[in-house]
Structures are given as C-alpha cells and as structure tokens.
Homo-oligomer: A and B are copies of this chain.
Amino acid sequence: MSIERELFITEVALRDGSHAVAHQYTTEQVTQVAKALGEAGVPYIEVSHGDGLGGSSLQYGLSRTNEMELIEAAVSVCGSSNIAVLVLPGIGTIKDLKEAAKLGAKMARIGTHVTEADVAAQHIQTAKELGLETVGFLMMSHMASVHKLVEQAKLLESYGADTVYMFDSAGALLPHEVKERIHALRQSLSVNIGFHAHNNLSLALANTLAAIEEGATRIDGSIRCLGAGAGNTQTEVLVAVLDRMGISTGIDLYKIMDTAEEIIAPILQAPQEITRDSLVLGYAGVYSSFLLHAQRAAKKFGIDSRDILIELGRQKVVGGQEDMIVDVAAELAKNKAIYSV
C-alpha cells in the first residue's frame, strides 16, 4: 500500500466539540455547520455524541438530540464531504455502527485506551465489512511508552484499519514527544498515520505541525477550538498556518474562517479557553472525567485537588479506575498530616 502524501483534515467540532456544548446540539445547528463545512471543502466531518455513538447516557451526558438524527441531517447537506462517526467499544455497539452506515456515514473511527487495542478488533472488522473507511485510534497516548504505542498500533493495523491515529487525549504531550511517537509509528506501520491533539498546554497546533513533519497525513481539527478540555487544534488557524507553509488541505481559508466566526461562535455559551482546570488536566496528564471526582475528594479531605490529579497522573490511573481517586486523596491527606506534625 502506498503511503499518501496529501493532508486530510477531519473536523471534530460536531463530535469532540459536543463536550463543549454539553451534548446540546440541535438538528438545525448540525445542519448549518455541516453544510458550511462541506462548502468549505472539509474532507471529513465527524458527527457523534462526544463519547461516540451510544454515548448519550446519565454517565456520559444526555444528548439533546438523537445522534442518528444529527448524522442523517449532516449526510443530507455535506455535499462531497464524508460524514465520520466515532465508536468507543464498550460504549458504542456494532448495531450503532450499522445504523450510522445505513444513514450514510462513510467513515468509522474506532478507539480504545492506548493499551487496549484488542477490544477494537470486532468493530474494525465490521466497519470494513460495511464498506466504511476505517480509522483505529489510541487514546491517552502519552501514558504508553513508544514501544507499547507501536505494538498497539500494529494491532489496529492488523485488524484492517486504513488509518491509525494517535490521540493526545489529555493534551499532555510536548512537541518533541509527538515527533518521537509519530516517527516510530511511521517507521513501523504501512497504513496512514493520524494525529488528534488537545490544547491544554497551548501546544495543540505546534504538536500537529510536529506530527505532520514526521509523516502524519490525517489530522483532526476543530473550528473555534471546540472540544473537551481546552479544545483541539483550531481548524481555521491550522489551515492558515499550513497555507503559509505551502501545504494544501483543499479547504477554503476564508470559508472555514467564516464558518468558525459566524456559525460556531454564536452557538457557544462560553468561548473555549485554557482555564485552570483544563491546564491542570494537561499538566497532570489525566482524563477530564477525573476532575469532578478529584474536586469532591479534595473537599472531603481538605487538600488541593491539583495534588490529587498530579498524583493520579504519576500513577498512570486510567478511566474506569475512578475508585482510586478517593484512595489517592486519603493517602495524600495522611502524608500531609504527618508532614505537618
């Protein structure tokens, strides 16, 4: 398989950005955004609950609108763009995937924690059988060694993924760390390499440039930076910078700027910025879902929630291990008491 040299951007404001609007997108909003993105020439537009198909729940946040309705609306107006859907095995099911494909989704993006690629096998195979272009991705990639990351990426490739993405889910990586990881992936895989950044350390765009320099050809962006934490790589800014560098994305710069300014910005209740909370998440390298738990535990034990988050990052605690948050808080409070004596 020949490695592609062009660059393809996937716009994630209607999926990762769903976190930033508490999953309250309306069909009208999605229609308006998807139409404008299509007209701007964005090749892929992801539409799903922030946590992927099936994410609407008390645990992950209830969607205002059934995501299948949003996908159908986006498909109907996106012109020559392709609608992508996100699936996290354990949350999204094969049934969800088939339904989305039936509604006209053309790409499936199937992700797991960086050390658990094997749970994606069945979903990737089904997506391929459905005739979908298929992305496998690894989340919280800063938590794994380069060796482990490559090993897991190769699993995704072996299941049939056309593209393997590295997600910097906590926005915790520095540019030289992205370079090292993408370089290793490029050396070891024959499929397309992709990169998804978060801006918690104000490095999303720089990390994206580092990934492109090392051979990533599939890049996620989000207009007006809309996404979980401090948001993603800001698409319209990325298009402008790549244009300055002579790298074509096929996206119309003025149209993508206008979409961000005139369509997305008015939807937002609060602009995306790097707050204390999002900075701590990036600095500690932990899941954003830990934040509220850590703040509650901090209150209970009379300590700083940042100390808890940093310790959780140090111990590489992952999603699903939320019980450990109270244990860590109790331990920190005990140590604090000892040192205060």
Contacts and interface: CB of A to CB of B under 8 A. Distances in A.
A237 to B, nearest CB: 5
Contacts of A114: none
A319 interface: no
Contacts of A258: 276
B244 A174 contact: yes
A201 B279 contact: no
A273 B272 contact: yes
Number of copies of this chain that the complex holds: 2
Nearest to A172: B244
A304 interface: yes
B270 A306 contact: no
Interface in A271-295: 271-276, 279-280, 282-283
A203 B206 contact: yes
Given A205-B206, A206-B205, A261 B275 contact: yes
Contacts of A204: 202
A328 to B, nearest CB: 18
A12 interface: no
Nearest to A233: B202
A202 B239 CA distance: 12
Nearest to A177: B244
Given A202-B205, A206-B205, A241-B174, A273 B273 contact: yes
A149 interface: no
Interface string A142-183: 000000000000000000000000000000001100000000
A273 B224 contact: yes
Nearest to A237: B202
Interface string A244-284: 11000000011001101100010000111111100110110
Given A175-B209, A209-B175, A254-B306, A201 B241 contact: yes
A254 B205 contact: no
Given A224-B273, A271-B270, A274-B234, A283 B244 contact: yes
A121 to B, nearest CB: 35
Contacts of A201: 205, 237, 240-241, 244
A199 B175 CA distance: 17
Contacts of A241: 174, 201-203
> By CB atoms of chain B within 10 A, which of A209, A241, A261, A274 has the most?
A274
B174 A245 contact: yes
A170 to B, nearest CB: 12
A225 interface: yes
10 contacts: A175-B209, A234-B274, A243-B283, A254-B304, A254-B306, A257-B276, A257-B279, A260-B276, A261-B276, A273-B273
